[in-house]
Amino acid sequence: MTNYAAEFCDKERKFGFDMAAEWMQSKLKIEPGGENSSHWSDKQTETLISMLDEGKEFRAISNAIGKTTVQIYAKRRKLIEKGLVEAPEETPSEAKQKRVVKFKQLTKAGVTDVHEIAKQSGCNESSIYGYAKEMGYEIDKGKVIL
């Protein structure tokens, strides 16, 4: 028997099931992916809806609300199901494919500056480093080596 189970049985004998159950609930930790509505305050939900409507990035939303991006994605799914926010026009994988295509077009056109490629592709520089690595390119001093 685990420590919690033993303590639960002890509390149940002393104080009854209801009190023991309450004690056990106080010991439970919320999972980071716990997307139950009760974990979101009304203010957090309203902030999320307004920031999604404004087109803010998930990192900015995460910093503002104090939730992980996984929690934000899950909450957004629930809000979409309820019709409170609109679904994105394209899936994240479709968006990535478009950025990869743009990366290829720009490098073929002779653009080698990582910052410029990121700006024109609509992503961050870290993503460009990842795309370059996937395609076998090297990057030196902020330039893609073709």
Instruction: Using DSSP, state whether 144 is helix, strand or coil.
Output: strand
Question: Would residue 3 count as lying in a domain?
Answer: no
Q: Is residue 109 located within the same domain as residue 130?
A: yes
137 phi and psi angles, rounded to 5 deg:
-85, 155
Among 33-37, 94-98, 115-119, which stretch is predicted with the lowest mean pLDDT?
A: 33-37
Q: What is the pTM assigned to this prediction?
A: 0.50
Q: Is residue 101 located within the same domain as residue 138?
A: yes
Domain with 115, as residue range(s), is 92-145
The H or E element containing residue 96 is helix 92-108
Question: Would residue 122 count as lying in a domain?
Answer: yes
Q: How far apart are CA 92 and CA 97, in angstroms?
A: 9
Q: Is residue 42 located within the same domain as residue 64?
A: yes
Per-residue pLDDT reduced to its tens digit, 37-46 = 457 889 999 9
Q: What is the CATH number of the domain that holds 135?
A: 1.10.10
Q: How many domains does the chain have?
A: 2
